[in-house]
Amino acid sequence: MHKSFAISNYVLHALLITLGMLKWVVGQEGFCSAPPAYTESRTLYWKVTNPTLAPSHLEDLPGFTRSVYKRDHAVITPESHVFSPLPDWTNTLGAYLITPAMGSHFVMYLAKMQVNSSSAIPPKDVERFLFVVQGAVTLVDVYGDSNRLQVDSYAYLPANFEHSLKCDVSATLVVFERRYANLENHVPEKIVGSTDMQQLLETPGEVFELRKLLPASTPYDFNIHIMDFQPGEYLNVKEVHYNQHGLLLLEGQGIYRLGDSWYPVQAGDAIWMAPFVPQWYAALGKTRTRYLLYKDVNRNPL
């Protein structure tokens, strides 16, 4: 009994150190002179008054998830991702984060390509956008053109455009697909680019930085926005609009408002926003927030 108490004390010491509290402890006249708060932490039931609230701890708490799924929005956080082989792709695991079962007209999924993997083409009349978040892939198209896509690079493939993604080692992609909304006399083209090559756009009345990864022209029935917020910056408009969104936080952390709920979010989190859900974001922490956002555009909602 006494022995196990001593061991758990030792573990607590180690935990406090790894939690970055060493500086604090040393600041209180050395490690052994137990300041009041520290004494309290050694007592039976110390956890009641010293709960661990850091997200890294909560993720390990059995049964705990920050993910939510509601009628008009969803937050899908990494501890909820379930990967399984992507149909018709080789050596690739996929996690569908947004699908029409939620009410969206698009799918958003993560594709983890492994050694010697390759993609399948989307279903008939379905367009595809992919963005590399880890590793690198090679995009080969029906004309024999080949593009090396590294982190921060992306490609748009029009519906029924034959292509293949190949990966030698490993890569993680975020992929959006939807049935193309055809318009007479407008034909979208294959696009390949990278975020850093896109110019900053005007955002009247707002402070965030905006880049669009696809042309704003009529042939394209959606766009992908890259939005950057410095800590403390937030959306001025409390947006409510007909467009739907799929969002992946690439960097940073903050609070996302969706309807009447306010969610702490961080890099790796995905969000589904149905049409007309009130939405708002504020960036917090010490580093910039960057997120990637699907938005349907250029089509009459009727």
Ligand X SMILES: *[C@@H]1O[C@H](CO)[C@@H](O)[C@H](O)[C@H]1NC(C)=O
Entry field: residues in the chain: 302
* Closest to 283 measured CA to CA, from 227, 211, 201, 224: 227
- Kindly state the smallest distance separating residue 144's Cβ from ligand X, in Å: 20
- Distance of alpha carbon 69 from alpha carbon 64, whole angstroms: 14
Nearer to ligand X, 90 or 266 (CB): 90
Nearer to ligand X, 93 or 107 (CB): 93
Which residue's Cβ lies closest to ligand X?
116
Residues 115-174 that bind ligand X (CB under 6 A): 115-116
Structure tokens at 241: 């609009």
Q: Do residues 250 and 110 touch, judged by C-beta distance below 8 A?
A: no
Buried b (16+ CB within 10 A) or exposed e, 136-156: bbebbbeeeeebebeeebbbb
- Kindly state the smallest distance separating residue 116's Cβ from ligand X, in Å: 4
Between strands 171-179 and 84-85, the pairing is: unpaired
Residue recorded with tokens 């052994």: 32
Nearer to ligand X, 80 or 91 (CB): 91
Distances (CA, A) of 45 to 17, 41, 51, 191: 20, 8, 10, 59
Nearer to ligand X, 7 or 115 (CB): 115
Nearer to ligand X, 90 or 243 (CB): 90
Q: Do residues 96 and 107 touch, judged by C-beta distance below 8 A?
A: yes
Residues 67-126 that bind ligand X (CB under 6 A): 115-116
- Kindly state the smallest distance separating residue 115's Cβ from ligand X, in Å: 4
DSSP state of 50: S
- Kindly state the smallest distance separating residue 167's Cβ from ligand X, in Å: 10
Residues contacting ligand X: total by CB under 6 A: 2
- Kindly state the smallest distance separating residue 113's Cβ from ligand X, in Å: 13
Nearer to ligand X, 37 or 169 (CB): 169
Q: In 10 A of CB 15, how many CB atoms? A: 13
Nearer to ligand X, 105 or 148 (CB): 148
- Binding mask 222-261 vs ligand X (x if CB under 6 A, - otherwise)? ----------------------------------------
Q: Do residues 272 and 76 touch, judged by C-beta distance below 8 A?
A: yes
Q: Would you count residue 39 as binding ligand X (CB under 6 A)?
A: no
- Kindly state the smallest distance separating residue 114's Cβ from ligand X, in Å: 8
Residues in contact with ligand X by the rule CB under 6 A: 115-116
